[in-house]
Amino acid sequence: MLIALTSIMLVCFFALMIFVGWRCKKHATDVNGFVLGGRNVGPWLTAFAFGTSYFSAVIFVGYAGQFGWNFGLASTWIGLGNAFIGSLLAWEILGRRTRIMTRHLDTKTMPDFFEKRFGSKGLKIAAAFIVFVFMVPYTASLYNGLSSLFNIVFDIPYWVVIAVMAVLTAIYVIFGGYMATAINDFIQGIIMLVGIVSVVLAVLAKNGGFSQAVAKLSQSEVIMASGDKLNGGYASFFGPDPLQLLFVVLLTSLGTWGLPQMIGKFYSIKNEGSIKKGTIISTFFAVVVAGGCYFLGGFGRLFSNSEAIKYSKEGKILFDSIIPAMLSELPAVIISIVIVLVLAASMSTLSSLVLTSSSTLTLDVIAPASKEEMSEKKKVGIMRLFIIFFVLVSAVLAVLKDSLNITFIAQMMGVSWGAMAGAFLAPFMYGLYSKRVTKPAVAVSFIFAIGMTIMQLLVSFGTITLDKETVIGYIFKSSINSGVVSMVGGLILVPLVSLITRKPDAAKVDAMFACYDQKVMTEVKMRERLEEK
């Protein structure tokens, strides 16, 4: 019953994704259409594209399991932070200005923005390099958790799951570009909304309802760093480790402000009215999906005795097994919905990442280096080839990580988010608002973030040993902490360096910012004129 139901759902899901990609190929004939959907995408598609690119299987299976286990119900704050900082504030602060200035400067990628906004090809190349290096391992992480979920239903090798997801995602992105991605993201978003609500209600019902589930959770003992025991910590308001919880909230929420695949959604939205609607839709989506994921994960310790929970050779719990353990005893229809949910979440994020990577490499590196002017058709063709390349590389990395247990890949995944957000957040946001930001300030932000990333990798690999009781040791305790410091550091360094370096050309900057002062003329209807009289 379970196998048949899940198989039917998956076949229907895959068929729909490919059909959408094929139907959208007419929108992907030139660069503007392939990368940005003609800059004419409505609020619902844009909001769902933003949300589904934000939340993948990493969130549902990995982070919800890990942080739910570590923080208990307080992990719900992470989901709420994602909704109100990562979505609501991101749209409010960046949405309108990003749309207006990127159209005015005719930029299609984030590296292209840095070149035209700050007049530096060097910044564009550096930004493109950062995207290329850190986006690829990030894409590989999207397959995490799929194996443990599919094993609930199917007895198939992990590489088969990866191959199917990779091939199908590549097909519809290659066919329809951004528009196919946006429409499929909307469909996948609906599946995610229904799935999250269903599984949360089912898990609570299995544990006697919300009140009884919380009562059970409050009986779990927390072993503090000092060795003391704390009863009820996993059911408390801020959990057993509020400071570390704050770092997680900041990284996963503020980080979206500097990620190219997220900011790119504002490039394509069609008008300011759509931004207002999109803000509301995106926030609601994030409250349900992110809030629901982390709320669900908060009850993970109620399943600590489940046979589905797995442990490493060292005896440490494997966080990717927690959510599957919670689902394993639920009704067949719920499990089938969740399988499709997690696959949809991963495919939507993967499509966004490979489209961002391929467009960045093609438009910011390959095309400028070409001796001859490339036609629109050739650029789109090259982007399609790079989509195949990035999907293939991400799949190979995921298989290698699983089969050979290559920790380097896992470490790179952990720092990718912090590296890109740390490098881009401050210069991009300040670049939209301030005329005073200078090229050296942007370069310092890039260098600081990459320096923090390299240091984090050295510490993680054991090349450098730090005392975790010190401030420096705490910063590099995890990629979460160092990623937050990278972002906050950039927000401080960019204005400081801008103050002590040469001001940019006032005339050029004024011309760029003139786009915010343009007046919009509208016709007044005859009835309104008569009423005024």
Cβ-based neighbours of 190, under 8 Å, separated by 6 or more: none
Q: What is the pLDDT of residues 65-123, one digit of tens each?
A: 889 888 989 999 999 999 999 999 999 999 999 999 999 999 999 999 999 999 999 99
Q: What is the pLDDT of residues 186-212, one digit of tens each?
A: 998 998 899 899 989 988 888 888 888
So what's the pLDDT on residue 140? Answer: 77
pLDDT over threshold 90, residue 512 = yes
Q: What is the pLDDT of residues 118-143, one digit of tens each?
A: 999 999 999 999 998 888 878 877 77
Among 340, 502, 299, 414, residue whose Cα is nearest residue 6: 340
So what's the pLDDT on residue 240? Answer: 82
Q: Which domains does the chain have, with CATH numbers?
A: 2-21+39-403 (1.20.1730.10)
Cα–Cα distance, 430 to 436 (Å, whole number): 9
Cα–Cα distance, 147 to 157 (Å, whole number): 8
Tabulate helix, strand, coil % of the chain (nearest 5): 80, 0, 20
Q: What is the pLDDT of residues 352-386, one digit of tens each?
A: 888 999 999 899 989 888 878 888 889 999 999 99
So what's the pLDDT on residue 382? Answer: 93
Q: What is the pLDDT of residues 257-299, one digit of tens each?
A: 999 999 999 999 988 889 999 999 999 999 999 999 999 999 8
pLDDT over threshold 90, residue 323 = no
**Amino acid in the structure at residue 62:** G
Determine the average pLDDT of the residues in 471-480: 90
pLDDT over threshold 50, residue 530 = no
pLDDT over threshold 70, residue 420 = yes
Cα–Cα distance, 470 to 505 (Å, whole number): 44
Determine the average pLDDT of the residues in 330-346: 84
So what's the pLDDT on residue 134? Answer: 87
Which has the minimum average pLDDT: 315-324, 358-367, 493-502?
315-324
Residue bearing the bigger pLDDT, 50 or 154: 50
CA distances to 160, 314, 370 from 147, rounded to whole Å, are 10, 21, 42
So what's the pLDDT on residue 84? Answer: 96
So what's the pLDDT on residue 221? Answer: 65
Q: Which residues of 333-359 are buried (b: 16+ CB within 10 A; e: fewer)?
A: ebbbbbbbbbbbbbbbbbbbbbbbbbb
**CA triple 48-50-53, angle to 5 deg:** 100
pLDDT over threshold 80, residue 244 = yes
Determine the average pLDDT of the residues in 374-402: 88
So what's the pLDDT on residue 250? Answer: 93
Determine the average pLDDT of the residues in 300-310: 81
So what's the pLDDT on residue 521? Answer: 46
Determine the average pLDDT of the residues in 24-47: 87
The DSSP annotation for 80-115 comes to HHHHIIIIIIHIIIIIHHHHHHHHHHT--SHHHHHH
* Dihedral, CA of residue 167, residue 168, residue 174 and residue 178, to nearest 10: -130
Among 370, 401, 365, 19, residue whose Cα is nearest residue 172: 19
pTM, rounded to two decimals: 0.89
So what's the pLDDT on residue 519? Answer: 56
Please state, rounded to an integer, the average pLDDT across all residues of the chain. 86
